[in-house]
Amino acid sequence: MQNTEAIRIQGLTVGYAGQPVLSDISATIPRGQITAIVGPNGSGKSTLLGILAGTVTAQSGSVHRSTTHKPAFVVQHNAIPTTLPMTVREAVAMGRWAHRGPWRRLTKQDREITRACLERMDLTDLAPRRLDTLSGGQRQRTLLAQALAQQSDLMLLDEPSTGLDATSRAEISRALAEISATGVTVVQATHDMAEAEQADYCLLLRDGRLQAGHPKKVLVRG
């Protein structure tokens, strides 16, 4: 029988400087769907995302990923310096570093994958533009295209709609739905309840604890 779990979290506890952030939480994240991590500021959303990405170390418990590739991690658009002297095409091509290594010459296949990701995120016309000339929504789509270029089956996003206008938020939500429809497991931390309600699954963090389930049930209980 096909495994429907992308990630299994068991008894996870994480803290900083002796202060617990997440306490003995357990959950599963479904494969090929969109899971929203929600909760108030300081509830541990970014910490849990870091655990899933492998950039944060747990004090106890385990995280088992049944996905095949290293996760593609998408930061917020405002985490990228607007003065970075880089074009959209160059930024998206950096996604191939996961396979090629940094600063190595791109192959014909790498360039084709980059072109396809630019087209998929409707960035072809913007490819020669510098990042500092883009709107927030355009930068966020560039980061999504960069993640797509990694060809991972697990995409992790840290509040991708923060600071964007309604049109850009809708574009990002639509793009994530299309990415998930191809079989990629999408996990996003968000403070936007409307965005969380559109997800297939929800992890609600509060006071170091976790509730999991369908957004309509979890968010109502929360």
Assigned domain for 131 exists: yes
Assigned domain for 135 exists: yes
pLDDT value, residue 151:
93
Assigned domain for 114 exists: yes
Assigned domain for 124 exists: yes
Contact (CB, 8 A) for 48 and 55 = no
Assigned domain for 182 exists: no
pLDDT, tens digit (0-9, with 9 covering 90-100), for 175-202: 999 999 999 999 999 988 888 999 999 9
Assigned domain for 43 exists: no
Assigned domain for 98 exists: yes
Q: Which residue's entry shows tokens 């016309």? A: 125
pLDDT value, residue 221:
56
Alpha carbon distance 50, 172 (integer Å): 21
Instruction: Using 50 as the pLDDT threshold, list the residues of the chain that sit under it.
Output: 1
Assigned domain for 134 exists: yes
Scanning 11-130, the segments in alpha helix (DSSP H) are 45-53, 88-93, 97-100, 108-120
Number of domains composing the chain: 1
Domain range for 138 is 81-151
Alpha carbon distance 99, 151 (integer Å): 9
